[in-house]
Structure 1
Amino acid sequence: MTTDNQENKGNAAPLPLSERGATRRRLAKAGIGAAGILWTLESRATMNTMICKAPSGALSGGLSSHYSPATACSGLSPGYWKNHRSWPVSRNIMFTSVFDVQGEKSTCTEQTINQSYLCSTMLNLLSKQSFDRYNLGMHLVATYLNIMSGKISFLSVDTLQKMWTDVQATGHYSPASGVFWSAEQVKNYLQATHD
Protein backbone atom coordinates (compact mmCIF):
# COMPACT_ATOMS: atom_id res chain seq x y z
CA MET A 1 0.00 0.00 0.00
CA THR A 2 1.46 3.36 -1.00
CA THR A 3 0.79 6.72 0.54
CA ASP A 4 -0.10 9.84 -1.39
CA ASN A 5 3.42 11.13 -0.89
CA GLN A 6 4.92 7.93 -2.31
CA GLU A 7 2.60 8.05 -5.29
CA ASN A 8 3.34 11.73 -6.01
CA LYS A 9 7.10 11.32 -5.53
CA GLY A 10 7.60 10.35 -9.15
CA ASN A 11 5.24 13.01 -10.54
CA ALA A 12 6.60 16.34 -11.73
CA ALA A 13 3.98 18.45 -9.94
CA PRO A 14 1.12 17.81 -7.53
CA LEU A 15 -2.41 18.11 -8.80
CA PRO A 16 -3.85 21.63 -8.55
CA LEU A 17 -6.34 22.35 -5.77
CA SER A 18 -9.98 23.00 -6.50
CA GLU A 19 -11.29 26.49 -5.68
CA ARG A 20 -12.85 25.15 -2.47
CA GLY A 21 -9.61 23.34 -1.56
CA ALA A 22 -7.57 26.49 -2.12
CA THR A 23 -10.00 28.50 0.03
CA ARG A 24 -9.78 25.88 2.80
CA ARG A 25 -5.98 26.03 2.67
CA ARG A 26 -5.95 29.87 2.87
CA LEU A 27 -8.38 29.84 5.80
CA ALA A 28 -6.42 27.10 7.57
CA LYS A 29 -3.25 29.19 7.26
CA ALA A 30 -5.08 32.10 8.91
CA GLY A 31 -4.96 30.31 12.25
CA ILE A 32 -7.09 28.33 14.61
CA GLY A 33 -9.66 31.12 14.90
CA ALA A 34 -10.43 30.87 11.22
CA ALA A 35 -10.87 27.11 11.51
CA GLY A 36 -14.39 27.60 12.86
CA ILE A 37 -15.31 29.64 9.82
CA LEU A 38 -13.65 27.02 7.62
CA TRP A 39 -15.76 24.24 9.14
CA THR A 40 -18.90 26.30 8.92
CA LEU A 41 -18.28 27.34 5.32
CA GLU A 42 -17.48 23.77 4.33
CA SER A 43 -20.63 22.46 5.97
CA ARG A 44 -22.59 25.29 4.33
CA ALA A 45 -21.31 24.18 0.95
CA THR A 46 -22.54 20.66 1.53
CA MET A 47 -25.65 21.26 3.65
CA ASN A 48 -26.64 24.87 2.84
CA THR A 49 -26.26 25.96 6.48
CA MET A 50 -25.98 29.65 7.23
CA ILE A 51 -23.85 31.34 9.85
CA CYS A 52 -26.18 33.09 12.27
CA LYS A 53 -23.57 34.57 14.59
CA ALA A 54 -21.55 37.76 14.78
CA PRO A 55 -17.91 37.37 13.68
CA SER A 56 -16.58 36.90 17.22
CA GLY A 57 -19.31 34.35 17.97
CA ALA A 58 -18.56 32.45 14.79
CA LEU A 59 -15.04 31.79 16.11
CA SER A 60 -16.19 29.93 19.21
CA GLY A 61 -16.95 26.24 19.45
CA GLY A 62 -20.25 24.64 18.51
CA LEU A 63 -20.42 26.30 15.13
CA SER A 64 -23.64 24.79 13.97
CA SER A 65 -26.13 27.49 13.22
CA HIS A 66 -28.04 27.25 16.48
CA TYR A 67 -29.45 30.59 17.44
CA SER A 68 -32.12 31.88 19.73
CA PRO A 69 -35.64 32.20 18.35
CA ALA A 70 -35.28 35.98 18.74
CA THR A 71 -32.34 36.02 16.30
CA ALA A 72 -33.34 36.80 12.73
CA CYS A 73 -31.36 34.55 10.41
CA SER A 74 -32.87 34.63 6.95
CA GLY A 75 -30.35 36.67 4.97
CA LEU A 76 -30.87 36.94 1.22
CA SER A 77 -28.21 36.81 -1.50
CA PRO A 78 -26.82 39.65 -3.64
CA GLY A 79 -28.76 38.17 -6.58
CA TYR A 80 -32.02 38.44 -4.69
CA TRP A 81 -31.44 42.09 -3.78
CA LYS A 82 -30.27 42.90 -7.30
CA ASN A 83 -33.52 41.61 -8.78
CA HIS A 84 -35.90 42.58 -5.97
CA ARG A 85 -37.55 46.00 -6.31
CA SER A 86 -38.54 46.47 -2.66
CA TRP A 87 -35.52 47.60 -0.63
CA PRO A 88 -35.43 48.96 2.94
CA VAL A 89 -33.49 51.96 1.50
CA SER A 90 -33.46 53.70 -1.89
CA ARG A 91 -32.15 51.54 -4.74
CA ASN A 92 -30.15 54.60 -5.91
CA ILE A 93 -28.21 54.97 -2.65
CA MET A 94 -24.48 55.42 -3.13
CA PHE A 95 -22.10 52.94 -1.52
CA THR A 96 -20.31 55.87 0.16
CA SER A 97 -23.47 56.99 1.91
CA VAL A 98 -23.03 53.96 4.19
CA PHE A 99 -19.38 52.86 3.78
CA ASP A 100 -16.49 55.31 3.99
CA VAL A 101 -14.15 54.96 1.01
CA GLN A 102 -10.51 55.83 1.68
CA GLY A 103 -7.85 56.57 -0.89
CA GLU A 104 -10.06 57.34 -3.91
CA LYS A 105 -10.63 60.64 -5.67
CA SER A 106 -13.18 62.82 -3.91
CA THR A 107 -15.45 63.51 -6.89
CA CYS A 108 -17.36 61.43 -9.38
CA THR A 109 -18.15 62.38 -12.95
CA GLU A 110 -20.43 60.87 -15.57
CA GLN A 111 -17.39 59.00 -16.89
CA THR A 112 -16.49 57.55 -13.49
CA ILE A 113 -19.98 56.59 -12.31
CA ASN A 114 -19.98 52.91 -11.28
CA GLN A 115 -16.23 52.64 -11.93
CA SER A 116 -15.10 52.49 -8.28
CA TYR A 117 -16.45 52.07 -4.76
CA LEU A 118 -16.53 55.85 -4.42
CA CYS A 119 -18.73 56.35 -7.48
CA SER A 120 -20.92 53.24 -7.32
CA THR A 121 -24.48 52.81 -6.27
CA MET A 122 -25.29 49.91 -4.00
CA LEU A 123 -27.36 48.42 -6.82
CA ASN A 124 -24.34 48.48 -9.15
CA LEU A 125 -22.19 46.65 -6.60
CA LEU A 126 -24.66 43.76 -6.53
CA SER A 127 -23.20 42.77 -9.92
CA LYS A 128 -19.58 41.63 -10.27
CA GLN A 129 -17.24 44.60 -10.75
CA SER A 130 -13.58 44.46 -11.78
CA PHE A 131 -12.60 46.83 -8.96
CA ASP A 132 -14.50 44.82 -6.30
CA ARG A 133 -11.80 42.36 -5.34
CA TYR A 134 -13.25 39.13 -3.93
CA ASN A 135 -16.77 40.65 -4.39
CA LEU A 136 -16.41 42.11 -0.91
CA GLY A 137 -18.47 45.19 -1.81
CA MET A 138 -21.18 42.94 -3.24
CA HIS A 139 -21.51 41.01 0.02
CA LEU A 140 -21.26 44.14 2.16
CA VAL A 141 -24.24 45.59 0.27
CA ALA A 142 -26.31 42.39 0.53
CA THR A 143 -25.53 42.11 4.25
CA TYR A 144 -26.39 45.79 4.79
CA LEU A 145 -29.75 45.27 3.09
CA ASN A 146 -30.34 42.12 5.15
CA ILE A 147 -29.66 44.07 8.36
CA MET A 148 -31.81 47.05 7.34
CA SER A 149 -34.72 44.81 6.33
CA GLY A 150 -34.55 42.80 9.57
CA LYS A 151 -33.60 39.58 7.74
CA ILE A 152 -30.60 39.19 10.06
CA SER A 153 -30.19 40.54 13.58
CA PHE A 154 -26.88 39.06 14.72
CA LEU A 155 -24.88 41.78 12.94
CA SER A 156 -25.13 45.56 13.22
CA VAL A 157 -24.47 48.21 10.61
CA ASP A 158 -21.68 49.51 12.88
CA THR A 159 -19.93 46.10 12.83
CA LEU A 160 -20.33 45.88 9.06
CA GLN A 161 -18.86 49.37 8.62
CA LYS A 162 -15.96 48.49 10.94
CA MET A 163 -15.20 45.37 8.90
CA TRP A 164 -14.98 47.49 5.74
CA THR A 165 -13.02 50.34 7.34
CA ASP A 166 -10.48 47.99 8.94
CA VAL A 167 -9.94 46.01 5.73
CA GLN A 168 -9.36 49.25 3.83
CA ALA A 169 -7.03 50.76 6.43
CA THR A 170 -4.99 47.71 7.47
CA GLY A 171 -5.78 44.94 4.96
CA HIS A 172 -7.56 42.84 7.59
CA TYR A 173 -10.38 42.77 10.13
CA SER A 174 -9.90 41.41 13.65
CA PRO A 175 -13.06 39.69 14.96
CA ALA A 176 -11.23 38.73 18.18
CA SER A 177 -7.89 39.42 19.83
CA GLY A 178 -5.08 37.83 17.83
CA VAL A 179 -7.34 36.75 14.94
CA PHE A 180 -7.09 38.54 11.60
CA TRP A 181 -9.29 38.02 8.55
CA SER A 182 -8.21 39.13 5.10
CA ALA A 183 -10.66 40.83 2.73
CA GLU A 184 -11.41 37.45 1.20
CA GLN A 185 -12.10 35.88 4.60
CA VAL A 186 -14.43 38.76 5.50
CA LYS A 187 -16.24 38.17 2.20
CA ASN A 188 -16.47 34.43 2.95
CA TYR A 189 -18.02 35.17 6.34
CA LEU A 190 -20.53 37.66 4.88
CA GLN A 191 -21.40 35.25 2.07
CA ALA A 192 -22.19 32.57 4.67
CA THR A 193 -24.74 34.87 6.36
CA HIS A 194 -27.22 34.61 3.50
CA ASP A 195 -28.84 31.91 1.38
Structure 2
Amino acid sequence: MGTILACSAHKRSYVRLFELDDMTKSNQDLQQNPAPTPTGSGRRRRFLGAGVTAAPLVLTMISQPALGATCFTPSRSLSRNTSVSQNGYFGECTGAESPGNYKAQQTPGTSAYHWPATVKPTDPFHPTFKMGSDQGKTKFTKLVGGNWVSKSFGEVLDINVAGQVHFHLIAAYLNKLGGNGAVIPDVAITVEGILQIWSEYITKGFYAPTAGVEWGAEKIVTYLKTNGIVK
Protein backbone atom coordinates (compact mmCIF):
# COMPACT_ATOMS: atom_id res chain seq x y z
CA MET A 1 0.00 0.00 0.00
CA GLY A 2 2.80 2.37 0.85
CA THR A 3 4.44 1.52 -2.45
CA ILE A 4 1.24 2.38 -4.41
CA LEU A 5 0.89 5.77 -2.68
CA ALA A 6 4.51 6.58 -3.34
CA CYS A 7 4.06 5.77 -7.04
CA SER A 8 0.92 7.91 -7.27
CA ALA A 9 2.68 10.87 -5.64
CA HIS A 10 5.63 10.39 -7.95
CA LYS A 11 3.31 10.30 -10.98
CA ARG A 12 1.54 13.53 -9.93
CA SER A 13 4.89 15.24 -9.47
CA TYR A 14 5.97 14.10 -12.91
CA VAL A 15 2.73 15.44 -14.51
CA ARG A 16 3.09 18.75 -12.67
CA LEU A 17 6.67 19.08 -13.87
CA PHE A 18 5.52 18.34 -17.43
CA GLU A 19 2.81 21.08 -17.25
CA LEU A 20 5.28 23.60 -15.85
CA ASP A 21 7.69 22.77 -18.64
CA ASP A 22 4.95 23.40 -21.26
CA MET A 23 4.06 26.74 -19.67
CA THR A 24 7.70 27.80 -19.70
CA LYS A 25 7.99 26.99 -23.39
CA SER A 26 4.78 28.92 -24.15
CA ASN A 27 6.09 31.98 -22.31
CA GLN A 28 9.34 31.77 -24.23
CA ASP A 29 7.43 31.54 -27.50
CA LEU A 30 5.38 34.63 -26.61
CA GLN A 31 8.51 36.59 -25.77
CA GLN A 32 10.17 35.58 -29.03
CA ASN A 33 7.02 36.13 -31.13
CA PRO A 34 4.93 38.83 -29.45
CA ALA A 35 1.41 39.47 -30.73
CA PRO A 36 1.29 42.30 -33.29
CA THR A 37 0.27 45.70 -31.95
CA PRO A 38 -3.15 46.73 -33.36
CA THR A 39 -2.93 49.31 -36.13
CA GLY A 40 -4.74 52.64 -35.94
CA SER A 41 -7.81 51.19 -37.66
CA GLY A 42 -7.64 48.13 -35.42
CA ARG A 43 -7.52 50.30 -32.32
CA ARG A 44 -10.47 52.30 -33.61
CA ARG A 45 -12.47 49.13 -34.24
CA ARG A 46 -11.68 47.89 -30.73
CA PHE A 47 -12.63 51.25 -29.28
CA LEU A 48 -15.88 51.38 -31.22
CA GLY A 49 -16.63 47.80 -30.34
CA ALA A 50 -16.11 48.49 -26.67
CA GLY A 51 -18.53 51.42 -26.80
CA VAL A 52 -21.39 49.62 -28.52
CA THR A 53 -24.46 49.27 -26.38
CA ALA A 54 -27.95 48.09 -27.04
CA ALA A 55 -28.84 51.44 -28.64
CA PRO A 56 -28.38 51.38 -32.45
CA LEU A 57 -26.08 53.78 -34.23
CA VAL A 58 -28.12 56.28 -36.25
CA LEU A 59 -26.54 58.23 -39.12
CA THR A 60 -28.27 61.44 -40.10
CA MET A 61 -27.99 62.45 -43.74
CA ILE A 62 -27.68 66.21 -44.17
CA SER A 63 -29.22 67.38 -47.38
CA GLN A 64 -27.16 69.88 -49.30
CA PRO A 65 -28.83 72.76 -51.11
CA ALA A 66 -28.87 72.59 -54.86
CA LEU A 67 -25.95 74.38 -56.33
CA GLY A 68 -26.48 77.33 -58.63
CA ALA A 69 -24.28 78.64 -61.39
CA THR A 70 -21.72 81.39 -61.29
CA CYS A 71 -23.25 84.04 -63.53
CA PHE A 72 -21.94 87.07 -65.37
CA THR A 73 -23.19 89.91 -67.50
CA PRO A 74 -23.15 89.09 -71.22
CA SER A 75 -19.86 90.94 -71.79
CA ARG A 76 -18.10 89.49 -68.75
CA SER A 77 -19.30 86.00 -69.63
CA LEU A 78 -16.84 86.06 -72.53
CA SER A 79 -13.91 85.72 -70.10
CA ARG A 80 -15.71 84.39 -66.98
CA ASN A 81 -13.00 85.90 -64.80
CA THR A 82 -13.52 84.97 -61.13
CA SER A 83 -10.22 86.28 -59.75
CA VAL A 84 -10.21 88.23 -56.49
CA SER A 85 -9.92 91.50 -58.40
CA GLN A 86 -13.30 90.74 -60.01
CA ASN A 87 -15.23 90.23 -56.79
CA GLY A 88 -18.53 92.05 -57.04
CA TYR A 89 -18.68 91.67 -60.82
CA PHE A 90 -20.24 88.21 -60.90
CA GLY A 91 -22.85 86.40 -58.83
CA GLU A 92 -24.62 83.13 -58.14
CA CYS A 93 -27.80 82.38 -60.06
CA THR A 94 -30.04 79.80 -58.38
CA GLY A 95 -33.46 78.24 -58.79
CA ALA A 96 -33.96 79.04 -62.48
CA GLU A 97 -36.93 77.35 -64.14
CA SER A 98 -37.00 76.04 -67.69
CA PRO A 99 -39.08 77.64 -70.45
CA GLY A 100 -40.67 74.23 -70.99
CA ASN A 101 -42.13 74.22 -67.49
CA TYR A 102 -43.48 77.75 -67.84
CA LYS A 103 -45.06 76.66 -71.13
CA ALA A 104 -46.59 73.49 -69.70
CA GLN A 105 -47.77 74.87 -66.36
CA GLN A 106 -50.05 77.84 -66.93
CA THR A 107 -52.79 77.13 -64.40
CA PRO A 108 -52.46 79.21 -61.22
CA GLY A 109 -52.97 77.31 -58.00
CA THR A 110 -51.45 74.03 -59.15
CA SER A 111 -48.30 72.69 -57.48
CA ALA A 112 -46.24 72.87 -60.68
CA TYR A 113 -47.23 76.48 -61.42
CA HIS A 114 -44.08 78.55 -60.91
CA TRP A 115 -44.87 81.87 -62.59
CA PRO A 116 -43.94 85.01 -60.61
CA ALA A 117 -46.79 86.85 -58.93
CA THR A 118 -46.29 89.95 -61.11
CA VAL A 119 -46.80 88.19 -64.44
CA LYS A 120 -49.69 85.95 -65.52
CA PRO A 121 -49.74 83.66 -68.54
CA THR A 122 -52.66 85.72 -69.89
CA ASP A 123 -50.74 89.02 -69.78
CA PRO A 124 -49.87 90.45 -73.23
CA PHE A 125 -46.34 89.76 -74.50
CA HIS A 126 -46.13 93.14 -76.29
CA PRO A 127 -45.31 95.88 -75.37
CA THR A 128 -43.27 94.46 -72.43
CA PHE A 129 -41.19 92.83 -75.14
CA LYS A 130 -40.99 95.21 -78.11
CA MET A 131 -42.71 94.14 -81.29
CA GLY A 132 -40.58 93.22 -84.29
CA SER A 133 -41.67 92.82 -87.89
CA ASP A 134 -41.31 89.06 -88.39
CA GLN A 135 -44.64 87.40 -87.52
CA GLY A 136 -44.13 84.30 -85.40
CA LYS A 137 -40.49 85.14 -84.64
CA THR A 138 -40.27 88.68 -83.33
CA LYS A 139 -43.91 89.71 -83.72
CA PHE A 140 -46.66 87.78 -81.96
CA THR A 141 -50.14 89.08 -82.66
CA LYS A 142 -53.63 87.72 -83.25
CA LEU A 143 -56.83 89.06 -84.72
CA VAL A 144 -59.53 89.69 -82.12
CA GLY A 145 -62.80 91.40 -83.06
CA GLY A 146 -61.28 92.81 -86.21
CA ASN A 147 -58.25 94.20 -84.38
CA TRP A 148 -54.69 92.93 -84.15
CA VAL A 149 -53.61 92.53 -80.55
CA SER A 150 -50.64 91.02 -78.80
CA LYS A 151 -50.67 87.35 -77.97
CA SER A 152 -50.24 86.51 -74.30
CA PHE A 153 -47.03 85.29 -72.70
CA GLY A 154 -48.56 81.83 -72.48
CA GLU A 155 -49.53 81.82 -76.17
CA VAL A 156 -46.08 83.01 -77.24
CA LEU A 157 -44.44 80.24 -75.20
CA ASP A 158 -46.53 77.76 -77.19
CA ILE A 159 -44.58 78.87 -80.27
CA ASN A 160 -41.15 77.28 -80.08
CA VAL A 161 -39.32 76.80 -83.34
CA ALA A 162 -35.59 76.14 -83.77
CA GLY A 163 -33.61 79.34 -84.25
CA GLN A 164 -35.96 81.48 -82.16
CA VAL A 165 -34.89 83.25 -78.99
CA HIS A 166 -38.15 84.43 -77.40
CA PHE A 167 -38.77 81.05 -75.72
CA HIS A 168 -35.70 81.32 -73.48
CA LEU A 169 -35.81 85.10 -73.05
CA ILE A 170 -39.35 84.84 -71.64
CA ALA A 171 -38.10 82.23 -69.15
CA ALA A 172 -35.16 84.49 -68.25
CA TYR A 173 -37.58 87.37 -67.68
CA LEU A 174 -39.88 85.26 -65.47
CA ASN A 175 -36.93 83.87 -63.50
CA LYS A 176 -35.54 87.36 -62.98
CA LEU A 177 -38.89 88.37 -61.49
CA GLY A 178 -38.67 85.48 -59.01
CA GLY A 179 -40.52 82.71 -60.79
CA ASN A 180 -39.85 79.31 -59.19
CA GLY A 181 -38.13 81.19 -56.37
CA ALA A 182 -35.20 81.92 -58.68
CA VAL A 183 -32.53 84.39 -57.63
CA ILE A 184 -30.84 86.14 -60.55
CA PRO A 185 -28.68 88.96 -59.15
CA ASP A 186 -28.44 92.32 -60.91
CA VAL A 187 -24.68 91.89 -61.07
CA ALA A 188 -25.37 89.21 -63.69
CA ILE A 189 -28.31 90.76 -65.53
CA THR A 190 -31.23 93.10 -64.88
CA VAL A 191 -34.77 93.04 -66.24
CA GLU A 192 -33.76 95.90 -68.52
CA GLY A 193 -30.76 93.88 -69.66
CA ILE A 194 -32.95 90.95 -70.70
CA LEU A 195 -35.30 93.24 -72.61
CA GLN A 196 -32.30 94.95 -74.24
CA ILE A 197 -31.08 91.62 -75.63
CA TRP A 198 -34.51 91.16 -77.21
CA SER A 199 -34.66 94.73 -78.55
CA GLU A 200 -31.29 94.45 -80.26
CA TYR A 201 -32.08 91.03 -81.62
CA ILE A 202 -35.36 92.03 -83.26
CA THR A 203 -33.71 95.11 -84.80
CA LYS A 204 -30.35 93.75 -85.96
CA GLY A 205 -30.88 90.00 -86.00
CA PHE A 206 -28.22 89.59 -83.32
CA TYR A 207 -27.13 90.89 -79.93
CA ALA A 208 -23.70 92.42 -79.35
CA PRO A 209 -22.45 91.83 -75.78
CA THR A 210 -19.39 93.90 -76.63
CA ALA A 211 -17.99 95.67 -79.67
CA GLY A 212 -17.13 93.30 -82.48
CA VAL A 213 -18.99 90.30 -81.00
CA GLU A 214 -22.33 89.21 -82.41
CA TRP A 215 -24.65 86.67 -80.82
CA GLY A 216 -27.38 85.06 -82.84
CA ALA A 217 -30.25 83.15 -81.24
CA GLU A 218 -28.15 80.07 -80.46
CA LYS A 219 -25.42 81.99 -78.63
CA ILE A 220 -27.98 84.04 -76.69
CA VAL A 221 -29.63 80.82 -75.48
CA THR A 222 -26.21 79.35 -74.60
CA TYR A 223 -25.41 82.41 -72.49
CA LEU A 224 -28.71 82.15 -70.60
CA LYS A 225 -28.24 78.44 -69.90
CA THR A 226 -24.54 78.36 -68.96
CA ASN A 227 -25.03 81.24 -66.53
CA GLY A 228 -27.97 79.61 -64.78
CA ILE A 229 -30.42 82.31 -65.86
CA VAL A 230 -32.66 79.65 -67.39
CA LYS A 231 -32.70 75.93 -66.76
Work out whether the TM-score is over 0.5.
Answer: yes
1:157 aligns with 2:177: no
Q: How many percent identity over aligned positions?
A: 24
Larger radius of gyration: 2
Q: Please report how far the alpha carbon of residue 86 of structure 1 lies from its aligned counterpart in structure 2 after TM superposition.
A: 4.3
TM-score (norm 1): 0.58
1:142 and 1:61, CA in 2 relative to 1: closer, same or farther beyond 3 A?
A: closer
RMSD: 3.6
Q: Please report how far the alpha carbon of residue 120 of structure 1 lies from its aligned counterpart in structure 2 after TM superposition.
A: 2.5
- Which string of whole-angstrom CA distances, capped at 9 and with x for unpartnered residues, describes residues 54-85 of structure 1? 1111012447xx986x9451121112323225
Q: How many residues align?
A: 141
Could you say which residue in structure 1 is the equivalent of 2:71?
A: 52
Q: Please report how far the alpha carbon of residue 127 of structure 1 lies from its aligned counterpart in structure 2 after TM superposition.
A: 3.4
State the distance in 2 between where 1:127 and 1:191 align: 20
Could you say which residue in structure 2 is the equivalent of 1:42?
A: none
1:79 aligns with 2:111: no
- Which string of whole-angstrom CA distances, capped at 9 and with x for unpartnered residues, describes residues 133-155 of structure 1? 52411101100011111521221
Q: Is the 8 A contact 1:172 1:181 kept in 2?
A: yes
Structure 1 counterpart of 2:72, one-letter code: K
3-state SS, counterpart of residue 139 of structure 1 = helix
Structure 2, unaligned runs of 5 or more: 1-66, 106-112
State the distance in 1 between where 2:114 and 2:175 align: 14
TM-score (norm 2): 0.50
Structure 1, unaligned runs of 5 or more: 1-47
Could you say which residue in structure 2 is the equivalent of 1:187?
A: 221
State the distance in 2 between where 1:86 and 1:169 align: 28
1:77 and 1:134, CA in 2 relative to 1: closer, same or farther beyond 3 A?
A: same
State the distance in 2 between where 1:77 and 1:101 align: 23
State the distance in 2 between where 1:181 and 1:112 align: 38
1:175 aligns with 2:219: no
- Mean alpha-carbon deviation: is it higher for 71-80 or for 168-177? 71-80
Q: Please report how far the alpha carbon of residue 53 of structure 1 lies from its aligned counterpart in structure 2 after TM superposition.
A: 1.2
1:85 and 1:190, CA in 2 relative to 1: closer, same or farther beyond 3 A?
A: closer
Structure 2 counterpart of 1:123, one-letter code: G
Q: Is the 8 A contact 1:92 1:121 kept in 2?
A: yes
Q: Please report how far the alpha carbon of residue 128 of structure 1 lies from its aligned counterpart in structure 2 after TM superposition.
A: 4.2
- 1:59-78 equivalence runs, <5 A: 59-62=78-81, 71-74=91-94, 75-78=96-99
Structure 2 counterpart of 1:142, one-letter code: A
